Amino acid sequence: MDSQQQRFYREEALRMVLEKMMSRALDACIVTDLSSIRWLTGFSGSSARLLVTPGKSWLFTDFRYREQAASEVVVAETVIAADGFAAELNSGSYPLGETVALQSDTVTWHEASRLIEQLHGRQRVIPVDSFFDEFRMLKNDIEIRKMRCAAEITEQAFEKTLSLITASATELDIAAEISFQHKKLGAEKDSFSPIVAAGPRSAMPHASPTKAHLKPGELIVIDMGCVYEGYASDQTRTVALGRVSEEARRIYRIVREAQELGIASARCGMTGRELDAEVRRYIAGHGYADEFGHGLGHGVGLEVHEEPRISPKGEVVLQENMVFTIEPGIYLAGRFGVRIEDTVVMGAQGADPFQRFSKELIEL
C-alpha cells in the first residue's frame, strides 16, 4: 500500500507542476534541485537532472545509479547519460517545445551557460526560482509519517547522549555521539552537522563544536537532526551541567514560555510573520528584544531549511499540513545562550509538535 500511495502522491505532484507550467506557457522544465527531484520521482542519488514535459518526464543520471534508479524512480523514464545531461539534451530525442524553464536558484552559471549553448537558440530558456515551494510546503500523510519517525530517532539519540555530558567530555565528543546514535537508530545521516555549544559559546546560535571540555555550571545548547527515508528532523534542547545561576534559570524559563506560546499561538490563516511577532513581543516584554536576533522558525521536509519562513519576512499564510520549527532563543554575548526548538505540523486545531521530550531544564 505504501508504494501505491507513493506513486499516487508523485503523480499528483507532477500534475500540479504541469498545471503551473501550462499557466506560465512553459513547454518543458529542467529540474536541477536534488530534493525536488526526489520529491517528484523518488530518486535519492547524488547525481540527477529531471526533464518534465506534458507528455512524459525523463530522469538523467549516470552509470553508478543505474540499478538504484530502476528500483526507486516512478513517473519518469530513466536515462543513463554517458556523455552528460547537456549532451543528451542536445541529441534531439526530447520534445522541448519553444520555452524551457530552468530551475535557476539551484544551478551553477557554468551549467546554465552550457545548457543554453547546447540548445543553439532553438528554445527560449526561462529562469525560474522557488518553483516547487508552494507544493512542497504542504506535506502528505507519508511525508508526515516519515518526519515523525525522524523526530523520534533524534529524540532517542538525544536521550542516549545525555549520559555522556560530563566534565570529561568535549563538545566534539557529544557531536560525534549524536551522529553515531542517529545512524545506529536507523537514520540515513544527520540533517545538518550537530551544534553543541557550551558556556559563552552557547550565545553563538550556529556555533561549531570544538575540543573545549564541558564545565560545571554551564548551559549547553544542543541542536540536532537526522534524515529518515529522505525527510529531516530538527530539534534543540538546552541543558545544564550541574547547577547554573539564577539568571540562567530565569532566561531559560522565558525562552521555554516563549516557545510554548509559539506552539499555542500557531493557527491556520495567520502568516509566518504574525506568528513570529507573537513570540517576539513576549521576549521583548522581558527586556531581551535585541538578544533574539533570528527568525522564530523555518519549514522542514526533504531539506532541513525550506519554506515557509516563520520570521519577520514570513509572508506565507500557514495552512494545514505545513511543517515548521518553533525555536526562540535569547543569547547574551560572551556569557551564555538558550534555545528550545520543536518541529510542528499544522492541523485544523493548531500546531502539533513532533517532539515529546521534556522542556524542563535538565541539570546533569
CA distances from 255 to 78, 194, 248, 292 (A): 49, 21, 11, 10
pLDDT at 2 over 80: no
pLDDT at 121 over 80: no
- Indicate the SS3 state at residue 267: coil
d(CA 165, CA 336): 17
**Position 85, amino acid:** F
Class level of CATH domain 2-132: alpha beta
pLDDT at 302 over 80: yes
- Indicate the SS3 state at residue 220: strand
The most distant pair of C-alpha atoms in the chain lies apart, rounded to whole Å, by 71
- Indicate the SS3 state at residue 115: helix
In the chain, ranges of CATH 3.90.230.10 domains: 141-353
Q: Which helix (H) or strand (E) holds 178?
A: helix 171-184
In the chain, ranges of CATH 3.40.350.10 domains: 2-132
pLDDT classification of 346: cutoffs 50, 70, 90: very high
Looking at the chain, the whole-number percentage of residues with pLDDT higher than 90 is: 90
Q: What tens digit of pLDDT does each residue of 209-228 get?
A: 999 999 999 999 999 999 99
Label residues 149-167 b or e (16+ Cβ within 10 Å = b): bbbbbbbbbbeebeebbee
The alpha helices in 64-107, defined as continuous H runs, are 66-72, 85-89
What are the backbone dihedrals phi and psi of residue 51, each rounded to the nearest 5 degrees, phi first? -110, 120
Decide the pairing of beta strands 226-228 and 189-190: antiparallel
Cis previous bond, 308, omega within 30: yes
Q: Which fold would CATH assign to domain 141-353?
A: Creatine Amidinohydrolase (3.90.230)
- pTM above the 0.85 mark? yes
Residue 11: Cβ within 10 Å count: 12
In the numeric block, which cell numbers belong to residue 21?
A: 507550467
Judged on CB neighbours under 10 Å (0-12, 13-18, 19+), 36 is: buried
The number of residues in the chain equals 364
Instruction: Identify the weakest region by mean pLDDT among 27-36, 81-90, 161-170.
Output: 81-90
Given a contact cutoff of 8 angstroms between Cβ atoms, the answer to whether 329 and 137 are in contact is no
- Tell me what pLDDT residue 348 has: 95
First to last CA, the chain: 45
- Tell me what pLDDT residue 87 has: 87
- Tell me what pLDDT residue 225 has: 98
Please, what is the Cα angle at 147 between 146 and 152, to 5 degrees? 100
- Tell me what pLDDT residue 1 has: 46
Label residues 246-267 b or e (16+ Cβ within 10 Å = b): eebeebbebbbbbbbbbbebbe
Decide the pairing of beta strands 99-103 and 124-128: parallel
Region 117-128: mean pLDDT is 86
Arithmetic mean of pLDDT over the chain: 95
d(CA 45, CA 79): 14
- Tell me what pLDDT residue 270 has: 98
Residue 64: Cβ within 10 Å count: 12
- Tell me what pLDDT residue 4 has: 85
- Indicate the SS3 state at residue 247: helix
pLDDT classification of 177: cutoffs 50, 70, 90: very high
Q: What tens digit of pLDDT does each residue of 195-212 get?
A: 999 999 999 999 999 999
- Indicate the SS3 state at residue 337: strand
